Structure formats: structure tokens, C-alpha cells
Amino acid sequence: MTLAAAVRARRWVPALALGLACQSHAAGTGDGGAWLQRAVQASRNVSYAGTYVHTNGDRISTVRVTHVNANGEEHERIEALDGPPYEIVRRNDEMFCYFPDAKTVRLDRRVNARFFPSLFRASADVIAASYDVKLGKTERMLGYECQWLELEPRDNLRFRERLCSESGTGLVVRARTLNEASQVIEQYTFTDLKMGPQVARGDVKSIFEARVKQWITDSQPREEARGVDTGWVVNNPPPGFRKAAELRRTLPGRGQPVSQLIYSDGLASLSVFVEANPSPGRTAEASTEDGSTTFFVRPMGDQLVTVLGEVPLVAAQQVGRSVGHRP
Amino acid sequence: MTQDLSSLMDGELSADEAHRAIAACSASEEQKQTWYLYHCIGDALRGQSPRRVEMPGEVFESIRKEPTVLAPRRRNPATVTRIAMAAAASVATVGVVGWLGTQGGASVPADGALVAKGASAVQPVANMAPVVPPTAAPVAVTEDVSAYLAAHRQLPSPEQYRTVNNQRAATAR
């Protein structure tokens, strides 16, 4: 095979993969849906290691991520490179958060935690029910040929998303969230990335593992993540948002655990917190937005409802104003 | 004079004006404190907030008197610094700084509390619209937004664990 023929053959591989994906995908979503499905699957199945920069509003953080899929199990290591050091090691849904300064390891079960490029919380079909998925332009990024996916929300209750998917594997290498004025309000982008066999199984082990026997273990978050019936319900969630979890969390500075309901449309998510209205209590609604994060608080009798999530304010208000007792 | 300080930080003064502003600031403890506070607010807006800010009592007194503070719906990225500095002219925006400063995924300050005030009706506003004046006696409400954020993203702050350990150490003693 000549070099030119080899190059042509390599170019056909993504197209072939896309063709196969299209065959297995529900009709009607087209190429965009097939690419989205590849991106969702790649975030779980591809082994990758790299450094990404996360910009949300005015804040920037740098994170090193290593992800390995071995024998069907996901292993991931997240290392914060800015600010106080911490490391999160995940095996499927089991999370170990290491805080070296405090010599503490926090045990938790993954409920809503997602780290780039694994931003998806549901299948492509579920996501495509809330977003119109179209193919954008192709672009070379970090040395890889990439395909932009445009996820246009079907209503004003979620933000527009743009995902840049590496053509060979489908892995997302850049993601942008845009507001209604088409301004980028949040962005993830790899600054270096390696994939496949270049990533070793040992790279996802905690660098603190050997020392952790001397550390304090906080296993309460894992207990709380099991979920409970809080007695609260959101009567009017935005279309496509389904309840992902319901639990009681211990938050700093509070005597009693706070009820938390988590909703997601497969891409965006929000949390609803219900707790006793402190004395002197809040008496009026308030809200603030920064980057993709919206905060909305509403007094409800002797309770205080707080909504926080990556959704427009109108969605947070709709959710917060429809919280009630479960019948 | 605070306007001069704000303009100085924005680099909007001429050389002569800057010299005069610096000389005046150097000669006044009050202005030094204001200068320091502006920098703290600027740092917090850039996600580099100090762990603890010593603020004079009158700042908190002013906060109690201010109406509820609301963040802009969306700032133009090109004018962030300008807005940050303009915002610094009002001590009431300390509350907003607390909120903005706690969003970073990598570093969530443990004491990044949102301080919102006022018993009046509150409406979200866009583009730094004037704050709604209070119609009733203001009530100070402090909310630790970083705690909600950490619970939502399952991203606990390292500072939180420092606090836990200190509390444990104190209990042990």
C-alpha cells in the first residue's frame, strides 16, 4: 500500500465507524445524532490522559485528567493543578477524594460529578430529545482532526452547547456553553492529550495511595449518596429534565442535613436544596448568574428552596417555584 | 476620591493625576484601606481571593444598610476588569464577590460566603442595573453558596477539610 493509499484508508475509518453508528442509532437523528452517540461512548470507553483548562465566567482552573477503561471498568484520576491540591480517583461510581494538606480522604459515590470530557449524564437519544444535534465545521485541534457538534436547545430552558469531537475516537476535546446572546459562558479545552495505548493502567492510581493509611477517612458522603425519600418534589421541571438522585447532604455550617434533588436532561444538571429557613429568614426571592452557573433562592414558608445548576435563570426559577411536598 | 482610586486601578489617569492620587492615597490610612479592599475584590473576581480579608467594621455596617445585591446577568468579557473596579466602589458588592469567587472548580474558598441583604422584593437584573432600594428594614442574610456548589458538583473544597480537621483537633483538645 502506498503512503497516499494508506492516508486515504485512514480517512475512511471514521466514516466507516460513523456509518456503523448510524445503522445502530434510532432513525431521525441523522449524522449529528450518530456523532453524539460516538462522543458519549468515547467518554466511557476510550483511554485518555491530558490537561484541560476550564473557564466558567471569569474563573479559570487547570485540571489533569487520566481515564482508563480496563475490562469494562472505568478508572479515572483528576488532579487539580491550581489552588490547594486535591486528587479524585474514581472506579466506576466509587470516588476517593484525597486532600493532602488535611491528610484526609473523602469517600463518596458518584451522583452528579462529571469531569471533562465525560460531560454526559445520559445516552445520546435522551440528550437528542432536548437538543437538536447538527454537524458543524471540521477543525484541526491539538494535532487531531475534529468535528464540531452543535447542540441547539429545543426551548429556552437550557443553554446551547458546542462539542468538538475527535474524528478517530469521537472523544470530545473542546466544549463550549453559549448563552442566548451566543456568548461563550463556559469552556473546557484540552491543552495536551494522548489517547489509547499510550495511557497506562497505573496512571490512574492515586499518588497518595501509599500514605493514606495515616490519614483521616471521611465516609459520611458515601453514606449520604445512597439516597432517601426527602418528601419533596419538583412539580414542574423543564421538559426533558429527569430526577437523577434524591438525598440528604450534610453541608458546612448547618445543624441538619439539607435535602437535595438532582435533575438532568442528560447534559445540563441542576440541584434543588430544601432546608429550614434560617432565623432571621429570607423573605424574598434572589438570584445571580455567573458563567453557566445560576443560583436562585426562594423562601417557602418556614423552608428555604435553593436551585443551583448549569441552566438559564428562567429554568432555575421554574424549578424553584414548583417545589412542594410529595403527595 | 474613591473614584480617583478606582480610575487609578483601571489605568485611566494621566501620569500627573496618577502621581497625585498615589500621594493622596499614601497619606491617608482610610484610602490605603480602600485601595487594599479594591485589590481584594479584584483578586476575588479573578478567582484568586485571599483566604481571609480583614475589613473594617464600617464595611459590614454599610453592607447592613445596603439593599439586596444582585449579580449581573452577563458581563461583557471585554469590560470585566472595568466592571470589577466599578463594582469595587460599592462595598455592597462584597457579597457578589463572595459568590463569584467561589465558582472555580479547582479552588473553592471555604469562607466564600454570599452576603445578600434586604427584605425588599428582589428582581434579577441585567448589566449592572441599579440596585432596587429597600422598602423595609433590611435584614442581613448570609449564604454559603460554595457549599451548595460543592454539593452539586461533588467537588468538596480542600479548605472545608482543613476546617473539619481543626474542629476535630479542637474537640480532641
Identify the residue among A290, A296, A318 best suited for mutation to test binding to B, counting B beta carbons within 10 A and taking the highest: A290
Looking at the structure, do residues A256 and A209 belong to the same domain, yes or no?
no
Residue B27: count of CB within 10 angstroms of its CB = 9
Looking at the structure, do residues A253 and A128 belong to the same domain, yes or no?
no
Whole-number pLDDT of residue A113: 93
Looking at the structure, do residues A10 and A150 belong to the same domain, yes or no?
yes
How far apart are the CA of A152 and the nearest CA of chain B, in angstroms? 20
In terms of pLDDT, which residue wins out, B82 or A171?
A171
Residue A68 lies in a domain: yes
Which residues of chain B are within 8 Å of residue A102 when distances are taken between CB atoms? 158, 161-162, 164-165
Quickly state the pLDDT bin for B168 (edges 50, 70, 90).
Answer: low
Strand partners, A257: none
Strands A216-218 and A104-109: parallel
Q: CA B36, CA B52: separation in Å to the nearest integer?
A: 13
Q: CA A312, CA A148: separation in Å to the nearest integer?
A: 23
The per-residue pLDDT for range B77-109, each reduced to its tens digit, is 333 322 232 332 222 233 333 343 333 333 333
Residue of A nearest to B134 (CA): A284
Q: CA A272, CA A307: separation in Å to the nearest integer?
A: 5
Looking at the structure, do residues A172 and A117 belong to the same domain, yes or no?
yes
Exposure class string for A210-241: b at 16+ Cβ within 10 A, else e: eebeeeeebeebeebbeeeebebbbeebbebb
Which 8-state DSSP code applies to residue A158?
Answer: S
In terms of pLDDT, which residue wins out, B38 or A295?
A295
How many domains would you assign to chain A?
2
Which residues of chain A are within 8 Å of residue B47 when distances are taken between CB atoms? 58-61
In contact, A108 and B154? CB cutoff 8 Å: yes
Identify the residue among B46, B132, B148 best suited for mutation to test binding to A, counting A beta carbons within 10 A and taking the highest: B148
Residue A220 lies in a domain: no
Whole-number pLDDT of residue B130: 32
User: Please, what is the angle between helix B29-45 and helix B15-26, to 10°?
Assistant: 110
**B 112-131 → A contacts, CB under 8 A:** 114, 116, 118-122, 124
The per-residue pLDDT for range A238-282, each reduced to its tens digit, is 999 999 999 999 998 888 999 999 999 999 999 999 999 987 778
Element (H, E) at A31: helix A30-45
Looking at the structure, do residues A132 and A243 belong to the same domain, yes or no?
no
Looking at the structure, do residues A178 and A252 belong to the same domain, yes or no?
no
Q: CA A287, CA B74: separation in Å to the nearest integer?
A: 13
Looking at the structure, do residues A241 and A201 belong to the same domain, yes or no?
no
Is the confidence metric ipTM above 0.95 for this complex? no
Residue A181 lies in a domain: yes
Residue A222 lies in a domain: no
Which residues of chain B are within 8 Å of residue A313 when distances are taken between CB atoms? 73, 124
**B 38-67 → A contacts, CB under 8 A:** 45-47
CB pair distance less than 8 Å for A183 and B74: yes
**If you average pLDDT over each of A127-141, B6-20, B32-46, which comes out highest?**
A127-141
Residue of A nearest to B81 (CA): A58
Judged against a pLDDT cut of 90, whether residue A49 lies above it is answered with yes
Which 8-state DSSP code applies to residue B131?
Answer: P
Whole-number pLDDT of residue B19: 77
In contact, A105 and A215? CB cutoff 8 Å: yes
Judged against a pLDDT cut of 70, whether residue A138 lies above it is answered with yes
- The CATH number covering residue A294 comes to 3.30.200.100
The per-residue pLDDT for range A60-87, each reduced to its tens digit, is 999 999 999 998 899 999 999 999 999 9
Residue B27 makes CB contacts below 8 A (sequence gap 6+) with: none
Residue A286 DSSP SS3? strand
For chain B, what are the domain ranges?
Answer: 2-172
Helices (H), B13-79: 15-26, 29-45, 57-65
CB pair distance less than 8 Å for B163 and A286: no
Average pLDDT over residues B12-23: 76
Quickly state the pLDDT bin for B33 (edges 50, 70, 90).
Answer: confident
Residue A69 lies in a domain: yes
Residue owning grid cell 484526609: A104
- The CATH number covering residue A34 comes to 2.50.20.10
- Min mean pLDDT across A77-86, A90-99, A131-140, B137-146 is at B137-146
Quickly state the pLDDT bin for B166 (edges 50, 70, 90).
Answer: low
In chain B, DSSP assigns E strands to 114-117, 140-143
CB pair distance less than 8 Å for A308 and B148: yes
CB pair distance less than 8 Å for A61 and B119: no
The per-residue pLDDT for range A175-197, each reduced to its tens digit, is 999 999 999 999 999 999 999 99
Looking at the structure, do residues A48 and A13 belong to the same domain, yes or no?
yes
Which 8-state DSSP code applies to residue A72?
Answer: T
Q: CA A195, CA A205: separation in Å to the nearest integer?
A: 17
In terms of pLDDT, which residue wins out, A176 or B137?
A176
Residue B4: count of CB within 10 angstroms of its CB = 18
Given A62, A83, A289, which is nearest B74 (Cβ)? A289
Strand partners, A61: A54
Element (H, E) at A126: helix A124-128
In contact, A119 and A162? CB cutoff 8 Å: no
In contact, B70 and B122? CB cutoff 8 Å: yes
In contact, A205 and A89? CB cutoff 8 Å: yes
Given B47, B74, B161, which is nearest A104 (Cβ)? B161
Residue of A nearest to B50 (CA): A83
Whole-number pLDDT of residue B160: 74
CB pairs under 8 A between A and B: 164
End residue of a domain, out of A188, A214, A240: A214
Which 8-state DSSP code applies to residue A281?
Answer: P
Q: CA A39, CA A34: separation in Å to the nearest integer?
A: 9
Q: What share of chain B in percent tops pLDDT 90?
A: 3
Looking at the structure, do residues A202 and A236 belong to the same domain, yes or no?
no
Q: N- to C-terminal Cα distance for chain A?
A: 70
In contact, A79 and A63? CB cutoff 8 Å: yes
Q: What range does the domain containing A48 cover?
A: 3-214
| Average per-residue pLDDT for chain A | 90
Quickly state the pLDDT bin for A173 (edges 50, 70, 90).
Answer: very high
Which residues of chain A are within 8 Å of residue B103 when distances are taken between CB atoms? 56-57, 59, 290-291, 293
Closest alpha carbon to A247 in A95, A76, A126, A110: A110
Looking at the structure, do residues A11 and A109 belong to the same domain, yes or no?
yes
| Average per-residue pLDDT for chain B | 52
The per-residue pLDDT for range A215-232, each reduced to its tens digit, is 999 999 999 999 999 999
CB pair distance less than 8 Å for B164 and A104: yes
Looking at the structure, do residues A113 and A204 belong to the same domain, yes or no?
yes
Looking at the structure, do residues A205 and A238 belong to the same domain, yes or no?
no
